[in-house]
Structure 1
């Protein structure tokens, strides 16, 4: 149940982020994704955006 709730929250956050088509969000993701790939070991909290 905990895993299902966690998956459901991630799914809702996925829909929330990718349903918004603002240039602010697209720029944010274009910045965050490379930073996450490079500094994943340094900033584990960026796993939220994965």
Structure 2
């Protein structure tokens, strides 16, 4: 995972107060989260253990 994407995800996670699993679910399904993290519509998310 590129560090700039991981930093964006961690920032969004902290802002929304979500646990790792829900954060990855948002990244998989949420169009706003994908746009904020510069991910394409069909980009794969990562395993929640990366955030733990």
TM-score by length of 2: 0.35
Structure ranking higher in helix proportion: 1
TM-score using structure 1 length: 0.36
Which structure has the greater CA radius of gyration? 1
